[in-house]
């Protein structure tokens, strides 16, 4: 569910007409619904109750500080994968004890940042990282709380670029080697073992892969406890998918996911952490674009937008589908037309959809990409020297720009011409 609905034929973000935002900030732009973000966060907290738990929002899906503050004020923890994301979480007012640091390539500088600034735990992904963290913690006089990310070799049945739980993926340590890695962790100074971490991928649309992974984690918990480790926290990752189309097929609900967690690990007496990103932020955002031209081609017609692959890379990178809808609703039974929906970037890959049936549109019309809140703005670039697009947050009947579109002077002034040129 989201809060983007037609009213009197005009698409609204909560109680704000999308054309009003376009008039104020220009196109393209991202717009997020505070009500949708709030609702989706609460779906997870309710699904896990009464287990002791923390819902840590995966910042990599949507990292705007205003969004992080909204979720942090609700009580959310944060899952970060870089020093920059850690800084964003702290800038949003999230305390260190609610920040989990994941990622395969944490640097010593990032470790120092998190240890001195406060951290809930490090999800350690390799033995070299474990040893580096021990050295950094000892040098600072800190003890680093850790989980070890185990790779359960479970097929998440998702896109190959976002599957993370198979043995050929770069993430975690093989679950078969967990005992020896935990033994080393327990022997190192400056390290406190507190739990286990697992994450098998993103945009999962069925529960069975989660169940396979979590049952393995439950068995590992019992084994590690028998070996003397105080396993009291289970970080189960994220990855629950969202519906990108308006069809009747939908991924499992958070309530079903919560029931699975209780069934597989609920009897272990552990605090449970989950790290949802996409399901909280995905359907909470739109990318709104303007039509530059309608171009008639050889056997196909092109809808050329002012948004491009640098603004929303998912279709080009993953072959991902986003529903595209007109901002002004077409009358019932209006004719449709098949368009290739493309952007102005000089790449054939700058294509959002091929042969997509849409109501007839014209130059100057507005269209909206649904389910664009996750991995949209965060993956944008300035390719072709196209400015990053504004981000807007709506609450009720008002909106605020939470990231401005940079000017061309700001972009050009980042470059420096050396004195010898």
Query: Which sequence spans correspond to the domains of the chain?
Result: 4-31+282-412, 34-280
250 Cα distance to chain centroid: 19
- Lookup: tokens for 132: 């580096």
Six-digit token pair at 230? 């105080």
Tens of pLDDT, residue by residue over 129-145, are 999 999 999 999 999 99
The yes-or-no answer on residue 56 being catalytic is: no
pLDDT for position 156: 53
Of the candidate CATH numbers 1.20.5.510, 3.50.50.60, 3.20.20.10, 1.10.10.10, the domain formed by 34-280 belongs to: 3.20.20.10
CB contact at 8 A, 320 and 245? no
Sheet strand arrangement including 10-13:
4-7, 10-13, 16-17
Q: What pLDDT score does 161 carry?
A: 47
Spatial distance between the Cα atoms of 309 and 182, rounded to a whole number of angstroms: 43
Q: So what CATH class is 4-31+282-412? A: mainly beta
Condensed to tens digits (0 to 9), the pLDDT of residues 369-419 reads 999 999 999 999 999 999 999 999 999 999 999 999 999 999 999 999 999
Task: Name the pLDDT band for 170 (thresholds 50, 70, 90).
Answer: low
Which residues have CB under 8 Å from 289's CB, separation 6+?
Answer: 27, 28, 305, 306, 307, 311, 366, 367, 368, 369
For 146-172, b/e burial (b = at least 16 CB within 10 A) is bbbbbbbbbebebeeeebbbbeebebb
Distance CA 316, CA 309 (A): 7
β-pair type (398-403, 391-395): antiparallel
Give yes or no for residue 163 having a pLDDT over 80: no
Strand partners, 98: none
Identify the active-site residue in 1, 332, 346, 412. 346
- Residue 168 pLDDT grade (very low, low, confident, very high; cuts 50, 70, 90): low
């Amino acid at each position: 569910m989201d809060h983007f609905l037609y009213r009197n034929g005009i698409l609204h973000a909560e109680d704000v007409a999308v054309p009003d935002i376009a008039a104020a900030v220009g196109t393209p732009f991202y717009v997020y619904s505070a009500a949708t973000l709030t609702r989706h966060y609460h779906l997870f907290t309710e699904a896990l109750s009464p287990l002791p738990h923390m819902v840590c929002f995966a910042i990599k899906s949507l990292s705007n500080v205003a969004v992080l503050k909204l979720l942090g004020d609700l009580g959310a923890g944060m899952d970060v994968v870089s020093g920059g994301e850690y800084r964003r979480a702290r800038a949003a007012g999230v305390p260190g004890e609610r920040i989990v640091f994941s990622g395969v390539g944490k640097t010593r500088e990032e470790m120092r940042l998190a240890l001195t600034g406060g951290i809930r735990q490090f999800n350690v992904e390799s033995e070299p990282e474990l040893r580096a963290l021990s050295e950094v913690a000892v040098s600072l006089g800190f003890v680093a709380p850790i989980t070890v990310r185990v790779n359960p070799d479970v097929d998440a049945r998702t896109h190959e670029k976002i599957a993370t739980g198979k043995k050929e993926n770069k993430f975690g340590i093989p679950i078969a080697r967990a005992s020896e890695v935990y033994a080393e962790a327990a022997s190192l100074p400056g390290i406190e073992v507190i739990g286990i971490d697992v994450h098998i991928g993103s945009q999962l649309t069925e529960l069975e892969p989660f169940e396979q992974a979590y049952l393995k984690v439950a068995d590992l918990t019992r084994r590690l406890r028998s070996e003397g480790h105080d396993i009291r926290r289970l970080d189960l990752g994220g990855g629950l998918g969202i519906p990108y189309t308006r069809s009747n097929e939908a991924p499992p609900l958070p309530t079903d996911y919560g029931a699975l967690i209780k069934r597989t690990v609920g009897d272990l007496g552990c605090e449970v952490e989950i790290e949802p990103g996409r399901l909280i932020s995905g359907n909470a955002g739109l990318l709104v674009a303007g039509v530059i031209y309608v171009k008639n081609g050889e056997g196909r017609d092109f809808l050329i937008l002012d948004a491009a692959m640098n603004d929303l890379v998912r279709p080009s990178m993953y072959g991902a589908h986003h529903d595209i809808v007109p901002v002004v609703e077409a009358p019932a039974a209006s004719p449709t037309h098949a368009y290739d929906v493309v952007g102005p970037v000089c790449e054939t890959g700058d294509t959002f959809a091929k042969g997509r049936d849409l109501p007839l549109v014209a130059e100057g019309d507005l269209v909206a990409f649904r389910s664009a809140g996750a991995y949209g703005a965060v993956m944008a670039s300035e390719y072709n020297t196209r400015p990053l697009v504004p981000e807007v947050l709506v609450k009720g009947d008002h909106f605020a720009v939470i990231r401005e579109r940079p000017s061309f002077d700001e972009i050009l002034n980042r470059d420096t011409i050396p004195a010898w040129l």
